[in-house]
């Protein structure tokens, strides 16, 4: 805290005699400056703010009251304590002095011991207040710095939590894919083993009866049927080993067309009406054809399973009854290929919406493993894309996939 001997006091009085008395009494204890009227006092204070002002009231040009009001109206000089020293000892003048901002009022003729005591008291108060303000500023700076530090730590912690959550989700999805892959391998093995035996037996029979053209023709049809079964098993393995498929340049609309061709009979059997709106000249992107096909397959199947539990509705434009409709749109937006899939199913509850991409979570109560949408999410993330879901305005589910154009 500042030493009192280093404090500065401005004496303002138009009478030299009064100035001399005050200077003689205070010169050894403080640093003094003098102004002979109010205007000079204001000019001096703005350039060299003192620690305290001793101010006379009755002065030419600008009296003490007006001088005090000017100083208190200026934010720069507002905090400087002012002590009036005046022969005006009427109560109303003393009251006015305090009302306009003075900290004290000494009447003339004054007792110098009293003046010195009051000066010391108010300077001590001023120094204490200044020190409190200084410490408050230091404390505010420390609090501000600590707040910034804590915000950085909180941000870092949030990032770590988010990253850890992503890692956990990826781990769960990986385990899910491994489990599904193992199941697919097991199923494929159970099918392939007897299938190979049957195919071998058919070849023996074909050789034995090669002279019988009708028999040979029928055997050829049977062979083709078993070949399709073998191809289906291979696709089952491929679909459940998404990391094995190499990415290549492809057109999303072509993959969608191929998927819908495979699902045509399935959708007809389930009484699901489907409409597709594809943008012309959609740019190619680098992706895995089988993985993107799997996403389309899972997404459409998810919508179908949601809608077949609903009552049949009449399709007024086509004149037949359906369980629902699926609308698929593909277009480019801001450097991304967007695939929007909207169904007329029951929609998704808020509870399900939170967990819908989690492995083994399913809205179906009795059927399904709950891995389809999780696998879709994993595949789209692997392609640096995003997949989101919300309920459409008509009440069904609306999924949107965005894949960057490479």
Q: Which two tokens stand for residue 223?
A: 């062979």
Mean pLDDT for the chain? Answer: 84
Q: Residues of the chain with pLDDT > 70: what percent?
A: 84
Mean pLDDT, rounded, for 40-60: 94
CATH topology of domain 4-110: Rossmann fold (3.40.50)
Is residue 189 scored above 50 in pLDDT? yes
Q: Residues of the chain with pLDDT > 90: what percent?
A: 48
Q: Which residues 6+ apart lie within 8 Å of 14 measured at CB?
A: 36, 37, 56, 58, 59, 60
| CA separation for the pair 54, 104 (Å, rounded) | 10
Annotated domain spans of the chain:
4-110, 167-239, 247-404
pLDDT at res. 183: 65
Cβ atoms of 195 and 228 within 8 Å: the answer is no
Residue of 104 and 240 predicted with greater confidence:
104
What count of other Cβ atoms lies within 10 Å of the Cβ of residue 36? 18
Is residue 348 scored above 90 in pLDDT? no
Mean pLDDT, rounded, for 289-308: 88
Cβ atoms of 360 and 176 within 8 Å: the answer is yes
Q: What is the pTM of this model?
A: 0.46
Q: Which residues 6+ apart lie within 8 Å of 313 measured at CB?
A: 321, 322, 323, 324, 344
Using CB atoms within 10 Å of the CB of residue 237, give its burial: 0 to 12 exposed, 13 to 18 middle, 19+ buried: middle
Q: Which CATH architecture has domain 247-404?
A: 2-Layer Sandwich (3.30)
Q: What dihedral do alpha carbons 216, 220, 225, 226 form, nearest 10°?
A: 90
Is residue 317 scored above 70 in pLDDT? no
Mean pLDDT, rounded, for 88-102: 94
Q: Map residue 240 onto helix, strand or coil.
A: coil
């Amino acid at each position: 805290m500042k030493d009192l001997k280093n404090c500065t006091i401005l004496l303002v009085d138009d009478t030299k005699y009064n100035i001399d008395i005050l200077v003689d009494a205070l010169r050894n204890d403080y640093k003094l400056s003098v102004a002979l009227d109010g205007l000079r006092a204001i000019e001096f204070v703005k350039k060299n703010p003192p620690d305290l002002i001793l101010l006379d009231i009755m002065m030419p040009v600008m009296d003490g009251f007006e001088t005090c009001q000017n100083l208190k109206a200026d934010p720069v000089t507002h905090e400087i304590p002012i002590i009036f020293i005046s022969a005006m000892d009427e109560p109303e003048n003393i009251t006015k002095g305090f009302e306009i901002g003075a900290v004290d009022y000494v009447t003339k003729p004054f007792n110098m011991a009293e003046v010195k005591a009051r000066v010391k008291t108010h300077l001590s108060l001023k120094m204490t207040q200044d020190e409190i303000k200084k410490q408050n500023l230091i404390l505010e700076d420390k609090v501000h710095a600590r707040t910034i530090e804590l915000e950085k730590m909180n941000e870092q912690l949030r990032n770590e939590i988010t990253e850890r959550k992503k890692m956990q989700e990826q781990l769960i999805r990986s385990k899910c894919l491994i489990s599904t892959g193992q199941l697919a391998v097991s199923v494929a093995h159970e099918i392939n083993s007897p299938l190979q035996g049957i195919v071998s037996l058919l070849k023996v029979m074909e050789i034995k009866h090669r002279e019988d053209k009708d028999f040979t023709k029928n055997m050829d049809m049977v062979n083709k049927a078993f070949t399709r079964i073998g191809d289906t098993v291979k696709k089952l393995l491929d679909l459940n080993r998404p990391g094995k498929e190499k990415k290549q340049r492809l057109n999303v609309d072509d993959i969608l067309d191929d998927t819908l061709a495979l699902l045509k009979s399935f959708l007809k059997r389930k009484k699901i009406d489907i409409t597709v709106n594809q943008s012309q000249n959609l740019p190619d992107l680098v992706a895995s054809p089988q993985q993107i096909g799997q996403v389309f397959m899972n997404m459409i199947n998810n919508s179908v399973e949601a809608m077949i539990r609903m009552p049949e509705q009449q399709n007024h434009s086509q004149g037949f009854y359906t369980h629902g409709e699926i609308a698929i749109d593909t277009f480019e937006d801001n450097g991304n290929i967007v695939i929007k899939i909207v169904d007329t199913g029951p929609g998704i509850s808020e509870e399900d919406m939170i967990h819908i991409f989690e492995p083994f979570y399913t809205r179906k109560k009795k059927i399904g493993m709950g891995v389809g949408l999780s696998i879709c999410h994993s595949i789209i993330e692997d392609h640096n894309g995003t997949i989101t879901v919300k309920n459409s305005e008509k009440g069904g589910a609306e999924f949107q996939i965005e894949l960057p154009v490479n």
